[in-house]
A and B are shown apart, each in its own frame.
Chain A
Amino acid sequence: MADSRQDLLKGFSLGLRTGAATVTNIALAVAFIVALWWSIVAIFSLPTFLLPSPAEVALAFFHRPAFFLQHAQVTAYHAALGFIIGNSLGVALAIVLYRFTRIRTLTMPVLISFQAIPIVALAPILIVWFGTGMASKVVMASILCFFPIVINTLQAFSSIDRDYAELFDFYRANYAQKLKLLLFPASFTSIVAAMQISAGLAVVGTIVAELTGSDRGLGHVLLNTSFRFEIPSMFVAMVLSALLGIVFFNMPRVLRYVIPRSWKLGLV
């Protein structure tokens, strides 16, 4: 329909504009942090092994950019895989649990209390089970992503006005119809917010697993450079991790502009 195409276009240009605004804001924040960092180093004349200046860090990066970017790419790839797997399983479980009220009331408290566990503490055993390769990183990232998505999706589904559920019951809608026309559109905003959290956690999980045991990735670079006391290179890895986290956190927002504008309104 012409209308929905127009909506999509409107949404898209809106997306570009807010996207541009986000990038500008982040750039400003980064510029501010770099300036602050630089002046601290200058004012207290700190030695490189305590806090290298931004210039030294930049130098370390441009000395071997391919090396750093390759490792960053590995981390990004594993985090992305973990994000996709964790979110898919999380949404799938939420769909099943919402359907079966009895199982949901039994498992919800468990799921919520699982959130309090420092899941990163599982890293060593994951390395034992899955080895130092890709699997342990992806599994760690998936597990971290999983819980916020399940819980937030379920809570969003459950908070929908009873009247709407009644309307769909009246028309004898099946569960698939309910999901497509009611539950997902109504929960869209909460699910995107939960995905942002879990995208950030995917990067955290991957790096923690890399720190615990790996021969690739930013976590690996962090550990190795710290052993060798290559402080500027270590800072490069830290800065790249931070940037990766920011990029991942903002990625799910893209969904808001891909999915029709009217979905974002939620239930009033």
Chain B
Amino acid sequence: MPLLARELLNVGMSPDALPSAALVALTGVHLSFGGGGNGELKVLDGIDLVIPRGEFLAVLGPSGCGKSTLLRLVAGLLSPTAGSISWSEGLIERRPSRMAMNFQKPVLLPWLSLEQNALLPFNLAKSEFDKGMAEAKERLERLLQLTGLEPFRHYLPHELSGGMQMRAALVRTLIVQPDLVLMDEPFAAIDELTREGLGRDFRSIVARSDAGTIFVTHSIHEAAFLADRVVILSPRPSRILADLAVPLPGGERDISQRRNDVYLDFCDSLREIIANG
């Protein structure tokens, strides 16, 4: 078990009680997809993980190892086959406002404009948001500027490019101010430069709040540059291969740090762990 998890999950504590600093704790989580003709598929094989408040956690792992599945479990959309997950108070009950999830696909509704899609969380869960629509509209403007989508706000999803659709989904995700942000390869369809810029902006947005983040990515450099901590998963059935703190300062980061030797060495060691599986 990683050190942090051991510290936070004191022996003798009931699995439902969570230390105040933690948002979510997974204890010995197994997940299999079952039965349906193809036999049982073991995906997660004993995952122990704690996500504290204010931490940016990146998850690396080969395609098909269960990263999206892990996010679904944390979001409460799936239940583990064995093991347990506990969430901080209200995280699941008030999910629309307390959690945000950026799915691997954009999942925009084709009959709503970009702007209407971005405001979907507010329209679906009005009672969850105290300050309501006025504040959402304000945030919407800032996020549209940030993602460069302002001129396209009235476009329908099929009139946007693939990368623009992913950015639109990003606006929908960040329009709420959650305690926990789950990101499933949000920048996969976006060009290198835009991707760097969006990553930096995203990090500074969550760094300013007290939110915890789980960020799934295939890019070692992105993981190391954005995160405070990196978890590497093995191929399916997956276990945690490594759980490492990133040797870069917290808070906002700027691109120049990407030329830093400490950073580059860290990327190399991540690559080595992945390669040796």
User: Contacts of A170 on B, CB cut-off 8 Å?
Assistant: 75, 77, 95-96, 99, 101
* A98: interface (CB < 8 Å): no
**How many chain A residues touch the partner (CB < 8 A)?**
22
By the criterion CB–CB under 8 Å, are B111 and A172 in contact? no
Closest CB-CB distance, A5 to chain B, in whole Å? Answer: 13
By the criterion CB–CB under 8 Å, are A171 and B120 in contact? yes
Partner of A171, one of B125, B154, B158: B125
User: Contacts of A172 on B, CB cut-off 8 Å?
Assistant: 95-96, 124-125
Q: Which of B36-44, B102-110, B237-245 contacts A (4 or more CB under 8 A)?
A: B102-110
User: Contacts of B103 on A, CB cut-off 8 Å?
Assistant: 163, 166-167
User: In the assembly, what is the distance between CA of A228 and CA of B120, in Å?
Assistant: 66
By the criterion CB–CB under 8 Å, are A173 and B109 in contact? no
Q: Which of A55-63, A81-89, A141-149, A259-267 contacts B (4 or more CB under 8 A)?
A: A259-267
User: In the assembly, what is the distance between CA of A266 and CA of B101, in Å?
Assistant: 24
| A170-B95, A172-B95, A262-B156 given; A164·B120 CB < 8 A | no
**How many chain B residues touch the partner (CB < 8 A)?**
23
Residues 80 to 132 of chain B near chain A (Cβ within 8 Å): 95-96, 99, 101, 103, 105, 107, 109-113, 120-121, 123-125
User: In the assembly, what is the distance between CA of A181 and CA of B125, in Å?
Assistant: 13
User: Contacts of B109 on A, CB cut-off 8 Å?
Assistant: 164, 181-182, 185
User: Contacts of B124 on A, CB cut-off 8 Å?
Assistant: 168, 171-173, 177, 181
| A163-B103, A166-B103, A265-B156 given; A171·B110 CB < 8 A | no
User: Contacts of B99 on A, CB cut-off 8 Å?
Assistant: 170
| Cβ-closest 5 pairs across A and B | A171-B124, A262-B111, A185-B111, A171-B96, A173-B124
